[in-house]
With several copies, the nearest count.
Chain A
Amino acid sequence: MKILRTILMALTFLMTLPVLSWADEAAEAVAPAIDTGDTAFILISAAVVLLMTPGLALFYGGMSRKKNVLNAIMCSLIAMGIISIQWSLFGYSLAFGPDVGHLIGNLDWIGLSGVGVDPNPDYSATIPHQVFMVFQMVFAIITPAIISGAVAGRMRFPAYLIFILLWATFIYDPVAHWVWGVDGWLRNLGALDFAGGTVVHIISGVSALVAALVIGKRKGYGTQPMIPHNLPMTVLGAALLWFGWFGFNAGSSLGAGSLTAVAFVNTQLATAAAMMSWVFVEWLRHGKPTVLGAVSGAVAGMVAITPACGFVGPMSAIIIGLIGGVVCFLAVAVVKAKLGYDDSLDAFGVHGVGGTWGALATGLFASKAVNEAGGDGVFFGNPEQIVSQLIAIAASYAVAIIGTYVILKVIGLFTKLRASDEEQEIGLDFTQHGEDAYASTVSGSPFSPGVGAATASAPAGVVKPAL
């Protein structure tokens, strides 16, 4: 109660800030040049990108075992809660606020103060600044959620919750500033990343691998079968991801024009190509064309085309997709087994590897004929582009590896990261969330909440695991 009161008071104070400054701003520029078509497109893109996060929840949830499905879902869901708040309070300011040393935004836009409805031409001249802000918010939400795939089935939820909050603040926000912020150093360098290959996929995928290694393998990994409990759920999740990815990639043009069309078409083609190449490689290797392969390939293709989608032509997109599907397949089917790490749902194998391929591919296939504001890649006569891309990749890997390691170790000082073997055996759904995903023949009785209230003062964890 006390905590709530304090929070409320703090927020009540904050509340007055933005509205006032915002009112001023509104007074200054009465008629901003907002384009309704662009605004409509970006708002809807933001909505569909938001929908990607529950899509990811279902994609991961279906691949989990039955006893862990809610935990897999919750890890994505909760990002929609916590990161939205983080972003509006200070995350957006850190990432896109006025530059400090090419490394980070300052705190001018804290609590969205100064982020009003007039366009901010630094980022987008035809849509309200708040629209740009919320479009970026949904990227900040899904990125940490991707990481949960690597540690599914064994990370304690309280540790995870703290982890994504810190990770978003200390890793995502700075890297977003580097790549997309005005005067960010990677942006100045000329590294091409249309919709977030480095910012979203490389850093989340690499962090995922680090987290998987730090937290260790699931109990029984390698000896018990850990196979998807509900593939139609995974297909549905992938479908929502595909749908949302149009907002993710085409929306990154921040309008509804020619470049939007290019990004949209490339997204579709690379996704389709990667789906086919994964399916065919698996078919050749294991004798059957699988549904999980089809959707995994599709996701791999979307990851791979993300940084390139606004810089390459349609046939290049197909090639990027074809290779992306094969590379990611090899990563999850061969490399993972060889090296023996337990990346439960292949967050690294798909996002890390696919994102890296995409960043390289952008340096190969980019063409100014497609997007003058972009650059030419190696295949279009500019071998130097690949250097910028490599620098961007290296920087992202470095910050993701070091940052994730440090954050996890620090959290580990305060609370356990890893669910006990017994908790894993019972399943994270019950042990972390006190729920059962598919209760059917249940027997028992509801306690009156009066009884519940009696336990209210007991420490978290009062609902004891048992099997």
Chain B
Amino acid sequence: MTKIECILRPGKLENVKEAVNDFGIHGITVTQVIGCGLQKGRTEVYRGTEYNINLLPKIKMEMVIPDKDVEAILKLVTKAARTGEIGDGKIFTYKIDNVVRIRTGEMGEIAI
């Protein structure tokens, strides 16, 4: 099982969610985060002083999926989340050892 962790633009959440739903993935956990990368932040002004705000709002979307779907999902997400401008975000993937469905106590891939 693999966790797909996507850092997205806030406005792309709906798109990406729909794309993976259509694929058949329904378990999703979303966190509000802030981040920076190549994107260098933005300038805000408060009482005539300019502040360079480095960390901009992003959405972190996590899905644990069967290993076989990883490649497909990466493509799907990349497509749904892209604008082509700096700040589109990243996807990180890593292996998960075990999953438990709390409601039933089931473990492993069937619990995803």
A and B touch in the complex (CB under 8 A): yes
Q: Which A residues have a C-beta under 8 Å from some C-beta of B?
A: 220, 223-225, 227-228, 282, 285-288, 290, 292-293, 296, 329, 332-334, 337, 346, 425-426, 430, 434-436, 439-447, 449, 451-452, 455, 463-467
Which residue from chain B places its CB closest to the CB of A224 in the assembled complex? B14
Q: How far is the CB of A431 from chain B (nearest CB, A)?
A: 10
- A442: chain B residues at CB < 8 Å are 51, 53, 55
In the bound complex, do residue A434 and residue B43 qualify as a contact, i.e. CB atoms below 8 Å apart? yes
A230 to chain B minimum Cβ distance, whole angstroms, is 13
Instruction: Write out the residue numbers on chain B whose beta carbons fall within 8 Å of the beta carbon of A282.
Output: 45, 48
Q: In the assembly, what is the distance between CA of A447 and CA of B43, in Å? A: 9
Q: Give, as a whole number of angstroms, the nearest-CB distance from A461 to chain B.
A: 12
A333 and B42 contact, CB distance less than 8 A: no
A441, B13: Cβ atoms under 8 Å? yes
CA–CA, A223 and B39, complex, Å: 21
- A287 smallest CB distance to B (angstroms): 8
Top 9 nearest A-B pairs by Cβ distance? A333-B48, A425-B11, A447-B50, A286-B45, A444-B53, A466-B42, A444-B54, A444-B52, A434-B45
Closest residue to A345 on the B side, CB-wise?
Answer: B47
B111 at the interface (CB under 8 A from A): no
Name B59's contact: one of A228, A296, A441 (CB within 8 Å).
Answer: A441
* Given A225-B51, A466-B41, residue A441 in contact with residue B10 (CB < 8 A): yes
Q: A296 contacts which chain B residues (CB < 8 A)?
A: 47
Q: How far is the CA of A452 from the CA of B52 in the complex (A)?
A: 11
Q: Can you list 29 A-B contacts with CB-CB less than 8 angstroms, sorted by A residue number?
A: A282-B48, A286-B48, A288-B45, A290-B46, A292-B47, A293-B47, A329-B48, A434-B45, A436-B44, A439-B53, A441-B55, A441-B59, A443-B13, A443-B53, A443-B54, A444-B51, A445-B51, A445-B52, A446-B52, A449-B48, A449-B50, A452-B45, A452-B48, A455-B50, A463-B43, A464-B42, A466-B41, A466-B56, A467-B9
How far is it, in angstroms, between the C-alpha of A442 and the C-alpha of B30 when the chains are bound?
10
Nearest B residue (CB) for A219 = B11
Q: Give the residues in chain B near A452, CB-CB below 8 Å.
A: 45, 48-50
User: Nearest CB to that of A448 among chain B residues?
Assistant: B49
A-chain residues with CB within 8 Å of residue B13 when the two chains form the complex: 441, 443
B17 contacts the other chain (CB 8 A): yes
Residue on A nearest B42 in the bound complex, by CB? A466
For A464, what are the chain B residues with a Cβ–Cβ distance below 8 Å? Answer: 42-43
CB 8 Å contact bits of B43-78 with A (1 = contact, 0 = none): 111111111111111010000000000000000000
Q: Which of B10, B39, B49, B56 contacts A333 (CB 8 A)?
A: B49
CB contacts (< 8 Å) of B47 on chain A: these are 292-293, 296, 329, 332-333, 346
A to B contact number (C-beta, < 8 Å): 116
- A329 surroundings in chain B (CB, below 8 A): 47-48
For A441, the chain B residues whose CB sits under 8 A away are 10, 13, 30, 32, 34, 55, 59
Q: Binary interface profile of B, 14-36, with partner A (CB < 8 Å = 1, else 0)?
A: 10010000000000001010100
B47 to chain A, nearest CB (A): 5
CB of B56 within 8 A of CB of A467, answer yes
CB proximity of B54 to chain A, nearest CB, Å: 5
Most chain B CB within a 10 A radius of its CB, from A287, A435, A443, A445 = A443
Which residues does chain B contribute within 8 Å of A293, judged by CB atoms?
47-48
Given contacts A446-B51, A467-B87, A227 and B32 within 8 Å (CB-CB): no
Within the complex, which residue of B52, B54, B59 is in contact with A447, where a contact is CB–CB below 8 Å?
B52
A329–B59 CA distance with the chains assembled, in angstroms: 35
Chain A residues whose CB sits within 8 angstroms of the CB of B44 once the complex forms: 227, 430, 434-436, 439, 463
Q: List, in ascending order, chain A residues with CB within 8 A of B59's CB.
A: 441
Q: A346-B47, A430-B44, A443-B34 are in contact. List 13 more A-B contacts (CB 8 A).
A: A282-B45, A292-B46, A333-B49, A334-B48, A337-B49, A425-B9, A435-B46, A441-B10, A442-B53, A444-B41, A449-B49, A452-B48, A463-B50
Partner of A446, one of B9, B39, B50, B54: B50
- In the complex formed, the residue of B with least CB distance to A228 is B46
Does A332 contact B14, Cβ atoms closer than 8 Å? no
Q: Evaluate contact between A435 and B42: CB separation under 8 angstroms.
A: no
Assembly CA distance A446 to B39 (angstroms)? 18
Q: CA A285 – CA B30 in complex, angstroms?
A: 32
**Distance between B103 CB and nearest chain A CB, rounded to angstroms:** 13
Cβ-defined contact, A227 with B51, below 8 A: yes
* Measured CA separation A287–B42 after assembly (Å): 13
**Given contacts A434-B43, A467-B87, are A447 and B34 in contact (CB under 8 A)?**
no
Tell me the smallest distance from the CB of B96 to a CB of chain A, in Å. 23
By a CB distance below 8 angstroms, the chain A residues around B48 are 282, 285-286, 293, 329, 332-334, 449, 452
Q: Which residues of B contact A227 (CB under 8 A)?
A: 44, 46, 51
